[in-house]
Structure 1
């Protein structure tokens, strides 16, 4: 959702500037101005969606790291159990 809002913050000003005759030959200048306008709009109005997107990414990463940690702990427990079983069979 945040990405769509950021794209809209750029594309809407760019499209409006391209409608002006002065920017028909200077499309790159319209792109620069649209980028500056989009950046300003993002900083001013899209703080909440950015925070939500950042939190969602952090939660996803924490869940993935927790799953990896659990898997590693299980592998360690299995190795210790195998070693104990081998020791019991030898002794």
Structure 2
């Protein structure tokens, strides 16, 4: 059986941390929009306190999706970078000598 994706479990926890306080507040016959605001505040606070690990797993998954692991760099990349740095250093030195 496949493991549940981190984003799915985190989303379910977040919905539950909003829905349970909302249901309790509505059962206490508090006005719906006040109950929704208070439930949202409660949900944010509880998720900040108790969902650190799932939130970090989701963030890591998003980061890895946006920045896939690069393959080995091109063999000439290091020498090209060194040449560019050397040329920039030479240009800066000539500019300083000209002042």
Same fold by TM (over 0.5)? yes
- C-alpha RMSD of matched pairs (Å): 1.6
Gaps of 5+ in 2: 1-8, 72-99
Q: Structure 1 length as normaliser, TM-score?
A: 0.63
Task: Give the number of the structure whose residues are more often helix, by fraction.
Answer: 1
Inter-partner Cα distance in structure 2 for 1:13 and 1:66: 45
Q: Does 1:4 align with 2:12?
A: yes
Inter-partner Cα distance in structure 1 for 2:70 and 2:34: 48
**Paired residues, what number?**
63
Q: Structure 2 length as normaliser, TM-score?
A: 0.58
> What displacement does 1:4 show?
1.2
Which residue of the partner structure matches residue 53 of structure 2?
A: 48
Inter-partner Cα distance in structure 2 for 1:37 and 1:43: 10
> What displacement does 1:51 show?
0.3
Gaps of 5+ in 1: 68-91
5 Å-filtered alignment, 1:1-91, equals 1-21=9-29, 23=30, 26-63=31-68, 66=70
